[in-house]
Amino acid sequence: MKTVIKGLLVGVLLATTAISAIAQDKVVLTMWHNHPEWKDRVEAILNKYEEMNPNIDIQLEEISGTNYNTRLNTALTAGEAPDLFGLNPGPVTADAAAAGYTVDLTDRLDISGLTDSAKAAITLDGKIYSAPILGSYTVGLYYQRKIFEENGLTPPTNQTEFMALCDTLREKGITPMIAPAQDGIIPSFLYAMMVASVVKAEGFDEIRAGTRKFTDPDVLKAAYFLKDSYSCFQEGALATPYVEGKALFALGRGAMLEGGSADYAGFLETNPDVDVGVVPFPAVDGGTPATVTGMEAPYNVNAKSEHIDEAVAFLQWMMTAEPAQMVVDTITLTTTKGIVPSDNEVMKEMIEAGRSNDVRVFYEMPETGAVFGVVQQNAAALFLGDITPEEFAQIVQDAVKPSSSM
């Protein structure tokens, strides 16, 4: 009996030693991501990389969007951030680079395969600190095909049509628009598209340069449109969290939703039978329907990582054709040149929508970096009538830091 026990103990010891030896051979890369609803899809891509690189183990941790930056900021300050983490391009990435949190990837990463807009978005004063491995997003207006077809409706193209459509849908007992406005993110995107419909890409550059203002009479119309659009929102919009709103739309509880290409994967997670179309957001009367586009938090390498080379190699692979195809087919738009959705009709529609009048999101630019947050914080006051559209526009304008180099 004693011999058997001794034999078992020796066996366990040897097995443990062997497992730990194998584990020691593997390079573990930790990675934080801020879209829990994409977990399975992102892991499918990571698994592909791990199959090709058996010595690499990428441990993905999903953190919900509202908590992501809080945790990441704290972890970076404490020196306990993961090897790979996503940060918004522009001012936020610049801050992190200046603080020494991230690796300068300028000479380490080949970004020649990226689209020009993606290259521009991740380049800061000629340097590169991040890679857009999970692509970009374009925001437009989603609509429920079934509701529109059954009621003989067509997606609106301007403010007048949009407001009339809201009335029609309300009369039919249908919630016109789902807008989870608790944290102000959706109103901020709405305002961005309304402004874009007036100023277009050139005008946005003028806003950044300070030669055009949110308080200009034509741009002011966007603030009025935003205020009016509140009447189209679902009951309790100001207390509806982001995730609840997206789920409500996916379940067909409203006819329209302002949303991005990145949201579609979440709709499918909630309701695999979701049937939606997407168009540019209706224009302020006299303007052009618009979309806005931003990068899906490009990935940085932690300067304190013990596996910088492995992390960079992973980022490089993520910008190649195979993973880029998986991104565009299962998650959102890709920033890798020449990759188009194979059978994702919604992504194709989103790409089409973005061709009309697409403007980059406010928060990626140093001059308007604070604008997005200021709109978030003041949209509810506008909706409730606590401030006028003029006062709202002035508050937004005060957040612009014009650049003379524009």
**By the criterion CB under 8 A, which residues form the site for another protein?**
34, 65-70, 73-74, 76-77, 88, 91-92, 95-96, 98-101, 181-185, 188, 234-241, 244, 248, 253, 297, 363, 369-370, 372-373, 376-377, 380-381, 383-384, 386
For another protein, the closer CB: 104 or 309: 104
Strand segments, DSSP code E, in 39-186 are: 56-62, 84-86, 123-124, 127-128, 130-131, 136-144, 177-178
Nearest by Cα to 318 from 137, 136, 133, 135: 133
Q: Give the shortest CB-303-to-another protein separation in angstroms.
A: 12
For another protein, the closer CB: 155 or 204: 204
Query: For residue 43, what are its two tokens?
Result: 């892991």
Q: Give the shortest CB-306-to-another protein separation in angstroms.
A: 21
Q: Give the shortest CB-134-to-another protein separation in angstroms.
A: 13
Q: Give the shortest CB-342-to-another protein separation in angstroms.
A: 29
- SS3 state at 332: coil
For another protein, the closer CB: 155 or 362: 362
Q: Which residues sit opposite 360 in a β-bridge?
A: 293
For another protein, the closer CB: 81 or 165: 81
DSSP 8-state symbol, 106 = T
Instruction: Give the C-alpha separation, 131 to 119, whole Å.
Output: 9
Q: Give the shortest CB-242-to-another protein separation in angstroms.
A: 8
CA 31 to chain centre: 17
Residues 6+ positions from 197 with CB-CB distance below 8 Å: 222, 281, 282, 283, 284, 287, 288, 289, 290, 357
For another protein, the closer CB: 148 or 363: 363
Instruction: Give the C-alpha separation, 229 to 232, whole Å.
Output: 5
Q: Give the shortest CB-199-to-another protein separation in angstroms.
A: 20
For another protein, the closer CB: 50 or 183: 183
Query: For residue 70, what are its two tokens?
Result: 């809080």
Instruction: Give the C-alpha separation, 280 to 289, whole Å.
Output: 5
Q: Give the shortest CB-20-to-another protein separation in angstroms.
A: 35
Q: At what angle do helices 371-383 and 185-209 cross, to 10 degrees?
A: 130
Hunting for tokens 């970096």 — which residue is that? 369
For another protein, the closer CB: 113 or 252: 252
